[in-house]
Amino acid sequence: MRILVVEDDEFIANALDLVLSEQNYAVEIAADGESGWELVQAYEYDLILLDVMLPKLDGIELCRRVRSQGYKMPILLLTGRDSSHDKAIGLDAGADDYLVKPFDQEELFARVRALLRRGNTSVSPVLEWGELRLDPSSCEVTYSGRSLQLTPKEYALLELFLRNNRRVFSCSAILDRVWSFDKTPGEEAVRTQIKGLRQKLKAVGAPADLIETVYGIGYRLKLPSVNKLTLPSSEEPSEQTRQQTLTALAGVWERFQGRVNEQVTLLEQATTQILPAQLTVEQRHHAEQAAHTLAGSLGTFGFAAGSQLARKIERSLRAKKSMSQTETKHLRELVAALRRSIELTPPELTTPVTVKQELPQLLIFNSDRHLAEPLIAEAGVWGIQAEIATQLETARKAIALSPPQVVLLDLDGNTADSLALLVELKHRYPSLPVLVHSNQDNLMTRLEVARCGGHAFLPKPVPPAKVLQAVTQLLPKEATAAKVMVVDDDPQILATLRSLLEPWGLRTICIEDPRRFWETLEASAPDLLILDINMPHLSGLELCQIVRQDSHWCGLPILFLTAYSDANTVNQVFAVGADDFVSKPIVGPELVNRIMNRLDRIELLRNLAEIDSLTGVANRHKSTQDLERLLNLAKRHHQPFCLAVLDIDRFKLVNDTCGHAVGDTVLRQLGQWLLHSLRREDIVARWGGEEFVCGLYGMTSQDGVQRLTDISIGWQQQQSTHPQCNIPITFSVGIVHYPQHGADLESLYRAADKALYRAKKNGRGRVVAFKETGSSDQLSVASD
Amino acid sequence: MTAKRILVVDNEPYIQEVAQICLEMVAGWQVSTASSGSECLIKAAAEQPDAILLDVMMPEMDGLTTYKELQANQATKHIPVIFLTAKVQPADRRRYAQLGMKDAIAKPFDPLQLASQVATTLGWN
């Protein structure tokens, strides 16, 4: 990964170079904005670290320039100023994140990693898998440099696999994604295409099973053989490699456990049966050697504590030929602790590391461990991994090591420590939500918490479920993994389902008690529901009826899991509105297949209903909802909200002269250009014909004019280099903002439309903000 | 690029095996092993590996002696050596550096990071 650091302070630049290089990033330094810009144009960078105050061209300007030229690498601003205004200017200029100087190294690394992760998914111009390479911009596919000639279907199939390289696709899922609706053939067609693709891959030297058949489920890409990969050290081993390695290590542990036991026994003999003072030189040497080996190896197997104990034992054996009674006793205790530590199952090697890491993390800070334990248990139910810290120092370490998604702070134990932690978190991890839990429910405490930067306050007493509900609401929303909620009174079934579904990237929310159904449903908003039929208090059939009655949830797919498969039960299940029915015992692939198909179908329908198929931006229906939502948010938080209406100039002429196909391409390009140029949270939609609408939260029309002017300039520059047809294509923009120009979407739209007509009338290709100038706004429409 | 070949030297068979797994599975390198300093000298000369991972504390011939022997032999002089040691004190590091050693990797190592630690130390990126 290549990082460009634009920083004029030599000391900071060198420090960044040093610490980032240690993390195996390739770092280049530019000392002013202009030379930064030259480097951006000359080389490819995965990330830019940008100082704001720079000679020649300041960071904000550079940021705008980078974005206006269509560069999409993530930008992290380093700023000495921490006012919200400064941050907003930076983010609006196109930065993805900012860090206030002086910053913490840990945090810098974490943010850099986060941005690079994000960058990979959105940018990744070329898709690669081992030796296989697909370049979507030129539609070229190669294997170890040898080119493949693919049919459009084969190409689409390969692209689908490469873009979702961890997923298995069933035949029907492939049909849905690769074939168009009106022409869906049978599953046989998929098999024929896969066969053709495999033959072509084989012909250029790829393994025949590069596209692997997963029995009973479908197809996926096979992991490239590890021997062919020379791993760049900056990359983490892939998940599969991790798993394979850890499994192999668990095997070594099993085979050599006897040997490790012997070594511990040797230590036991040396320290318990014989007094250390009476050991012969040889015995002492053997004991030292054993302790040394254990110190060096146990940690690798996942027994970090064991390694530390062994090291202490080694040290005290070496240091002291004669020991006092207390020292001898201490040594024996160490050996006993070592024995206990290796009798536990190695944590790292047996639990599926993948699943643990993908779960959202919650850190509970409470000086009383007992009080926090019910919360830990409850968190498991909600698909959250919770950890307790009872000391300020442990909490700090835990957060630095792996920042959680949410922190739950108990105020009632050591209030001073809790507040200190709160202040520290606010300063060092401003975006990390902190939920404060306290029985001091009074105004002063609430005020204190608010001043220290708490995100939410929860007065006690509250049942653990409510606490977790509050935590769930604070979780970052972008978690895209589909969520499956399972209700079954048998914990064994819940555990099985979780272990079955989570490796597929499905977040699984499990509840045992159906009486807690509704609150969990609302809080977790699952994409699919799995119900057992027979449960105490409430049956699955009843739950299903309740869901189907509710106007919001009635569309939720429901799958029944039951031990009965008689006709009567099956009838009943479908009569109450189930979508699918699976009988126990659970057959893993079948269940996964059914769930994945169901989820694919929902996603597809959702896209169909919400995305404009020509341009890939939101359609009018969907964007209206989103715009209303942002408008409400703006009302509630007294923020401005900018609405822009865009129209391609002389679009009819484009269609007439160059043909409708070119016209469609222009529409698609503009849709994508807007999507890429605006912020992630902005709304881009096509409202029909050549008209686009954009919603920019937190911006006034002045900001909007600036923004859209940049975008328009960028578009024109891009157009001149890639001529689609000989007519220069420009667009006009009308801009308004809430609350000044209207209180609801409709009046805002009308005002923006007026501004748009003025832009057209004044010569097109320009961005015009709405001005109340009496009758002149009523002027007739420029004829386009 | 052909896979790197590494010689792992440790008197403890399970550490040999663990290191082997970590380097083979994670980085796809070829690993051979030796259980003592004298075995290391023979294998290093015969196999000409791209690097040697050498345990410091071994009975009979310890790591430092083995290293000196490797350096004394024209056939093995050029092979980079990384110490694998449970003791890495700053003083040790200085001593290793004076001897011309590449670096030392502390035991216990993180199984998933060992390969990248080796690659970084040797500048194989």
A238-293 per-position pLDDT tens digit? 666 777 777 777 778 777 888 888 899 988 888 877 676 777 888 888 888 888 88
Evaluate if residue A499 carries a pLDDT over 60. Answer: yes
In contact, B61 and B38? CB cutoff 8 Å: yes
What is chain A's alpha carbon radius of gyration, rounded to the nearest angstrom? 31
pLDDT digits (tens, 9 = 90+) for B54-86: 998 888 888 889 998 999 999 999 999 998 887
Looking at CA atoms only, how far is residue A256 from chain B in angstroms? 7
The verdict on a CB contact (< 8 Å) between B26 and A241 is yes
Q: How large a percentage of chain A has pLDDT more than 90?
A: 11
Q: How far is A35 from chain B (nearest CA, A)?
A: 27
Q: What is the pLDDT of residues A145-183, one digit of tens each?
A: 888 888 878 888 888 888 776 677 888 778 877 775 556
Q: Do A24 and B120 lie within an 8 Å CB cutoff?
A: yes
CA-to-CA dists, residue A714 to A68, A473, A702, A707, A720, angstroms:
5, 39, 19, 11, 10
Q: What is the rounded CA–CA span in Å between residue A86 and residue A80?
A: 10
Query: Which letter does DSSP use for residue B40 in this model?
Result: H
**A563 CB near a chain B CB, below 8 Å?**
no
Going edge to edge, which strands form the sheet with A140-143? Answer: A127-129, A132-135, A140-143, A146-148
Residue A47 is classified by DSSP as E
Distances (CA, A) of A282 to A272, A288, A322, B55: 17, 10, 15, 21
% chain A with pLDDT above 70? 86
Q: What is the mean pLDDT of residues A736-741?
A: 92
Beta-carbon contacts of residue B104 (< 8 Å; ≥ 6 apart)? B56, B82, B83, B84, B85, B88, B92, B93, B96
Q: Are A309 and A267 in contact (CB under 8 A)?
A: no
Interior angle at CA A31, CA A28 and CA A37, nearest 5? 75
Check residue A56 and give left, alpha or beta (phi > 0: left; psi -120 to 50: alpha): left
Using the Cβ of B119 and the Cβ atoms of chain A, whether some distance falls under 8 Å is answered with: yes
pTM: 0.34
Contact present, B122 and B51 (Cβ < 8 Å): yes
User: A391 forms bridges with which residues in the sheet?
Assistant: none
- Is there a contact between A230 and B12 if contact means CB atoms under 8 Å apart? no
**Interface pTM, i.e. ipTM:** 0.84
Task: Provide, as residue numbers in chain A, all residues whose Cβ is less than 8 Å from the Cβ of B125.
Answer: 24, 232-234
Helices A304-319 and A281-297, interaxial angle, to 10°? 150
Interface list for A 643-682 with B (CB within 8 A):
none
**CB A297 to CB B108 under 8 A?**
yes
Gap between the Cα atoms of A362 and A379, Å rounded: 8
Residue with tokens 């442990």: A394
Q: Which residue of B has its CA nearest to A256?
A: B14
Q: Provide the shortest C-alpha distance from residue B89 to chain A (in Å).
A: 14
- Per-residue pLDDT of A428-467, as tens digits, reads 777 788 888 888 888 888 888 877 877 788 888 888 878 8
Helix (H, G, I), strand (E, B) or coil at A502: helix
Chain A CB within 8 Å of residue B57 CB? yes
What angle in degrees, to the nearest 10, is found between the helix axes of A464-474 and A369-381? 60
Pick A93 or A358 by higher pLDDT: A93
The answer to whether A784 and A650 are in contact (CB under 8 A) is: yes
Q: B82 to chain A nearest CA, in Å?
A: 16
pLDDT per position as a tens digit, A746-757: 999 999 999 999
Query: CA-nearest residue of chain B to A238?
Result: B26
Residues A737 and A700 sit within 8 Å (Cβ to Cβ): yes
Mutate to test the interface with B, among A259, A292, A348 (most CBs of B within 10 A): A292
pLDDT at B89: 60
Chain A contact for B123 (CB, 8 A cutoff): no
| Residues A684 and A724 sit within 8 Å (Cβ to Cβ) | no
- What is the per-residue pLDDT for A334? 87
The percent helix, strand, coil of chain B (3-state, each to 5) is: 45, 20, 40
Residues A500-513 as b or e (16 or more Cβ within 10 Å = b):
bbbbbebbbbbbbe
What is the distance in angstroms between the CA of the first residue and the CA of the last residue of chain A? Answer: 48
pLDDT bin (cut points 50, 70, 90) of residue A22 is confident
Look up tokens 């002013």; give the residue: A32
Query: Which of A171-180, A200-209, A735-744, B91-100 is the least confident region?
Result: B91-100
Question: In chain B, which residues have their Cβ closer than 8 Å to the Cβ of A255?
Answer: 14
Residues 6+ apart with CB under 8 A from A116: A1, A46, A47, A74
CB B21 to CB A248 under 8 A? yes
Query: Is B27–A230 a contact, with Cβ atoms under 8 angstroms apart?
Result: yes
| β-strand pairing of A731-738 with A641-648 | antiparallel
Of A528-532, A672-676, B20-24, the one with minimum mean pLDDT is A672-676
- The SS3 assignment for B51 reads strand
What is the C-alpha to C-alpha distance for residues B8 and B27, in angstroms, rounded to an integer? 15
Contacting A residues, span 222-261, partner chain B, CB-CB under 8 Å: 225-237, 241-242, 244-246, 248-249, 252, 255-256, 259-260
> For residue A595, what pLDDT is reported?
82
State the count of interchain CB pairs (< 8 A) between A and B: 106
Helix axes A84-92, A59-68, angle to 10 degrees: 30
Q: Nearest to residue A173, comparing CAs of A599, A528, A501, A483?
A: A599
Contact A578, A558 (CB under 8 A): yes
C-alpha A666/C-alpha A719 separation (Å) is 10
DSSP lists the bridge partners of residue A510 as A486
In terms of phi and psi (left: phi > 0; alpha: psi -120 to 50; beta: otherwise), the region of A697 is: beta
SS3 content of chain A, % helix, strand, coil (to 5): 55, 15, 30
Q: How far apart are CA A461 and CA A438, in angstroms?
A: 8
All residues of chain B having their beta carbon less than 8 Å from the beta carbon of residue A299 are: 107-109
Q: Tell me the CA distances in angstroms from A258 to A9, A297, A597, one per residue in order.
A: 58, 14, 47
What residues of chain A lie within 8 A of the CB of B13, using their CB? 256, 259
8 A C-beta contact, residue A520 and residue A548: no
pLDDT attached to residue A779: 35
The H or E element containing residue A487 is strand A483-487
Residue position matching structure tokens 């030129």: A138
Distance CA A465, CA A479 (A): 21
CB A561 within 8 A of CB A488: yes
Query: Are the Cβ atoms of A249 and B12 closer than 8 angstroms?
Result: no
Task: Identify which has the larger pLDDT, A393 or B1.
Answer: A393
B18 with A296: Cβ contact below 8 A: no
B49/A499 Cα distance (integer angstroms): 42
Pairing mode, strands A132-135 and A127-129:
antiparallel
With beta carbons less than 8 A apart as the criterion, state whether A133 and A141 touch: yes
Quick: pLDDT tens for A607-653.
Answer: 777 888 788 888 898 899 889 888 887 887 788 899 999 999 988 88
* A85 pLDDT tier (thresholds 50, 70, 90): confident
Shortest Cα distance, chain A CAs vs residue B48, angstroms: 20
**Contact assignment for B18 to A230 by CB distance below 8 Å:** no
Distance CA B83, CA A313 (A): 23
Quote the minimal CA–CA distance from A611 to chain B in Å. 41
CA distances from B9 to A245, A288, A718, B45, B58 (A): 20, 20, 59, 14, 9
A19/chain B closest Cα distance in angstroms: 14
Dihedrals φ, ψ of A735, to 5°? -130, 135
- Residue (of A245, A468, A254) closest to A354 by Cα position: A245
